[in-house]
Amino acid sequence: MDTTHDTLIKPTLLAVDDTADNLALLNDLLSKQYKVKLANSGAKALKIAAAAPPPDLILLDIMMPGMDGYEVCRQLKLQAATRDIPVIFLTACADAEAERAGLEAGAVDYVTKPFNPPVLLARVKTHLALKAQADFLRDKSAFLEAEVDKRTREIRAIQDVTIHTLASLAETRDSETGNHIRRTQFYVKALARRLCEHPGLAAILTPRYIEMLFKSAPLHDIGKVGIPDSILLKPGRLSPEEFEIMKTHTTLGRQAIEHAEQLLGMQVDFLSMSKDIAQSHQEKWDGSGYPQQLAGDAIPLSARLMALADVYDALISRRVYKEGMPHQQAAGIIAQGRGSHFDPDVVDAFFQIEQTFIAIAQRYLDSDRDLQAKAAQQ
């Protein structure tokens, strides 16, 4: 008879006892149904249990020299590789206090010597079945968690692609290149990270908030899709009437995102922040901005961050019709706007991370090819 297959599928038991006769007795009883490993000390038991593959169940004596069974059990439960192995205490200690201590140490059962062989076999079989069920549920849970993580990453990727696609549609209609989206996205993230240590802003600027800010930033000018080309692409100064129309891109942006939310039938965190940025990034700290003439802290923080990022990028960026301004000159204009155009705290953060802004601008620099492509679109 070929027993190879049977041996492969037999559960493995580890019997631990400092008495050789007891180990021999357990081996004779258990080896007919299980693969049996033997250990005559607590230290040896821990070594065998930690080796791959681990045993499926451990029969553990309590009264052993050196390390007793309680300590062995506690050590097993501390290690991720062994904490789920069921332990049955098999001992001559028959008092209730010893049994209580064994169960508190992490054992699943407690059998006193001399044991009844059929009863011991029945208990081993029961706990192996329970372990098999627990392993199945644990593996299933891990699989489901992996699937949820995979789907979540897929949804986030789809969101990111959708955001950048929509933002790119707006960018194709005016004089800015797609790099403007990337630069302002990283500017606001850098500002938020700097300000997350600010006593008055730390509670708001959580990692989750900064993640949503980074995701939302590209939609700040989505409302420009509703502005006529004759105004949006005009190289010179706009007339008062034209400027009033241009100003509507803020409310048009909010309305577009609100419409998207209505289609979804639910509120989404990054879309809520996108609405604030789209509508309020042209507001000014002193209340002279648009469209609502909000002032100070009434302006959403996300929009205050974008206000500085957007202006800075407009100043330093090359356009089809103009050269970019040097950083120091742009920084001077930002400084002049502290407390009037911009939130003073945001301006202070900007000057603390100037080199980061310069690095971002260099990383996503508009090349001659970018500008030629933009000119061809117009």
pLDDT at 179: 85
pLDDT tens sequence across 270-302: 788 999 999 999 999 999 999 999 999 999 999
pLDDT at 199: 93
**Where is pLDDT greater, at 376 or 57?**
57
Mean predicted confidence (pLDDT) in 166-185: 69
Same domain as 275, residue 183: yes
Residue 238 has pLDDT above 60, yes or no: yes
Residue 55 token pair: 């045993």
Residues 361, 277, 304, 213, CA torsion sign: negative
Q: What number of CA atoms fall less than 13 Å from residue 219's CA on the CB side?
A: 31
Write the DSSP string, 13-28.
EEEE-S-HHHHHHHHH
For residue 151, being part of any structural domain is answered with no
For residue 160, being part of any structural domain is answered with no
Same domain as 188, residue 131: no
For residue 26, being part of any structural domain is answered with yes
Domain end: 119, 143, 167, which one?
143
Specify the CATH number for the domain of residue 257. Answer: 1.10.3210.10
pLDDT averaged over every residue in the chain: 88
Distance set, CA 31 to CA 10, 26, 58, 89, 308 (Å)? 10, 8, 14, 19, 76
Percent of the chain with pLDDT over 90: 66
Same domain as 104, residue 56: yes
> Residues with Cβ < 8 Å from 334, sequence gap 6 or more?
308, 311, 312, 342, 347, 350
Q: Look up the domain containing 62 and give its range.
A: 4-143
> Residues with Cβ < 8 Å from 332, sequence gap 6 or more?
none
Q: What amino acid is encoded at 253 in this protein? A: G
pLDDT at 173: 54
pLDDT tens sequence across 39-93: 999 999 999 999 989 999 999 999 999 999 999 999 999 999 999 999 999 988 8
Q: How confident is the model at residue 235 (pLDDT cuts 50, 70, 90)?
A: confident
For residue 259, being part of any structural domain is answered with yes
Residue 2 has pLDDT above 50, yes or no: no
Residue 172 token pair: 């194709």
Same domain as 182, residue 138: no
Specify the CATH number for the domain of residue 84. Answer: 3.40.50.2300
Buried b (16+ CB within 10 A) or exposed e, 74-91: ebbeeeeebeebbbbbbb
For residue 31, being part of any structural domain is answered with yes
To which H or E segment does residue 57 belong? strand 57-60
Same domain as 185, residue 98: no
The answer, as to whether pTM is greater than 0.75, is no
For residue 163, being part of any structural domain is answered with no
Q: How confident is the model at residue 361 (pLDDT cuts 50, 70, 90)?
A: very high
Percent of the chain with pLDDT over 70: 87
pLDDT at 366: 77
Residue 23 token pair: 């180990």
**Where is pLDDT greater, at 125 or 260?**
125
Same domain as 232, residue 126: no
pLDDT at 352: 97
pLDDT at 259: 85
Q: How confident is the model at residue 95 (pLDDT cuts 50, 70, 90)?
A: confident
Residue 108 has pLDDT above 60, yes or no: yes
Measured in degrees and rounded to the nearest 5, phi and psi for residue 173 equal -95, -10
Residue 135 token pair: 């392993």
Q: What number of CA atoms fall less than 13 Å from residue 340's CA on the CB side?
A: 5
Number of domains in the chain: 2
Same domain as 81, residue 208: no
pLDDT at 94: 83
pLDDT at 302: 97
Domain end: 143, 160, 187, which one?
143
Residue 375 has pLDDT above 80, yes or no: no
